[in-house]
Structures are given as structure tokens and as C-alpha cells.
């Protein structure tokens, strides 16, 4: 199985609060899964990166209101900060 993050780790990775991440999942803006029904949400790193869409700065239409477009400098700072945390 691929490396996954829990809700708190995903929130740290994306720069949101855990309650916001859960809301995004409920609204189907962010892809998540559970190992068992009723267990905690798990997130694949590639789904979080896709959510941020760092590569080209374009956002899928459904997600455009859910994420902020960051300047290149802000993206670089966020990536460096996440790298220091080991995410």
C-alpha cells in the first residue's frame, strides 16, 4: 500500500486546519479513503499534491474555490517548510 497521511498530517501538508480538511472531504473536494468503515480518513500524498496542483498552478474547476493560488515564491516557501517537516 502507498504511503498515506492522516487528517492532521494532511492539514499540515496543505496548510489548513484538520476540521477544514474533513469539510473538504465531506464536500468531495479532496479525495480520501478509510481502511474500515468509521475509521479515520487517510490521504495519499499524490492526491494532496494534485489538490494543491503545484506543478502548473492550474486548478480543476471544482477545486478553484477551495484553494488559493500561490505565487511562485510562496509555493517555494511551502515546499521548503514541508521538506523540513519530512512531509
Q: How many CA atoms lie within 13 A of 66 on its CB side?
A: 22
pLDDT tens track for 19-30? 999 998 998 888
**What distances in angstroms separate CA 74 from CA 37, 68, 77, 82, one per listed residue?**
37, 11, 5, 12
- pLDDT surpasses 70 at 11: yes
| Ranges of each domain in the chain | 4-85
pLDDT tens track for 28-87? 888 898 888 888 899 998 888 888 874 445 544 444 444 444 456 667 777 788 888 776
Q: Which of 63, 67, 71, 55 is nearest to 16 (CA)?
A: 67
Between helix 72-85 and helix 7-14 the angle, nearest 10°, is: 140
* pTM check: above 0.75: no
The Cα–Cα gap between 61 and 30 comes to 13
What is the CATH number that goes with domain 4-85? 1.10.1660
Amino acid at each position: 500500500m502507498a504511503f498515506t497521511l492522516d487528517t492532521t498530517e494532511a492539514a499540515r501538508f496543505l496548510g489548513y486546519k484538520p476540521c477544514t480538511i474533513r469539510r473538504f472531504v465531506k464536500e468531495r473536494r479532496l479525495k480520501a479513503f478509510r481502511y474500515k468503515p468509521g475509521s479515520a480518513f487517510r490521504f495519499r500524498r499524490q492526491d494532496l499534491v494534485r489538490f494543491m496542483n503545484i506543478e502548473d498552478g492550474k486548478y480543476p474547476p471544482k477545486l478553484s474555490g477551495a484553494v488559493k493560488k500561490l505565487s511562485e515564491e510562496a509555493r517555494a516557501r511551502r515546499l521548503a517548510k514541508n521538506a523540513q517537516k519530512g512531509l
